[in-house]
Amino acid sequence: MSVTWTAAPEVDRPLKASEKELLEQLLQSQKKLSDLNLMLHTVTQDSRCRVCPEGWLWWRDHCYFFSIGLQENRRWNESAEFCQQHNSSLAVIKDSTEMDFIQDVMRKFSNFPFLWVGLTDTKEEGQWMWRDGTDVQHDMPVTVEWDADDRDCADLRGGGTLFAADCEAYGPWACKRES
């Protein structure tokens, strides 16, 4: 984050004492801001101070890992295990803005056929639940297409569509965790 400012305005008349004091405060504040910007830039370049681990993307107080190009495709359960090992879970999509963010990432990779997300109906057929225990309709009303007895895991495809899929299929996935 960088903030710019303009120099103090030129004044054709002598400054009053109160104006001189305000001008001095402004110049001191500008110097402090410049120093803080430099410190912030320096700190954020240090790997020990990253908000998210390397290879993860930060968005709205969460870190996201998209496996495409970084990991081999996995089954849904294996993807969930990977996320758990990295203090996260398969992505639980809370609103349309988050859906748009994930879709934007997917569009950057032409070979993203689908993406495993944290949605399943393994506990009760037809009752789609996110990994955090909320019903699929709780935060953002969506439907899961192609639901069938043998398709218990959901994948996300273009256009924000969720599809029931065989959990044994291999594919890329997205993890999500608090930053």
Per-residue pLDDT tens digits of the chain, which is 179 residues long: 444 545 555 657 777 878 888 888 888 888 887 777 666 655 555 666 679 999 999 999 999 999 998 999 999 999 999 999 999 999 999 999 999 999 999 998 877 789 999 999 999 999 999 999 999 888 888 899 999 999 999 999 989 999 999 999 999 999 999 99
Residues in the chain: 179
C-alpha distance across the termini of the chain, in Å: 18
Nearest-angstrom CA–CA distance, 173 and 175: 7
Nearest-angstrom CA–CA distance, 18 and 133: 61
Arch. (CATH architecture) of 57-178: Roll (3.10)
CB 138: neighbour CB atoms within 10 A? 12
Residue ranges covered by each domain of the chain = 1-49, 57-178
Cβ-contact 118, 97 below 8 angstroms? no
Q: Which residues of 139-150 are buried (b: 16+ CB within 10 A; e: fewer)?
A: beebebeebeee
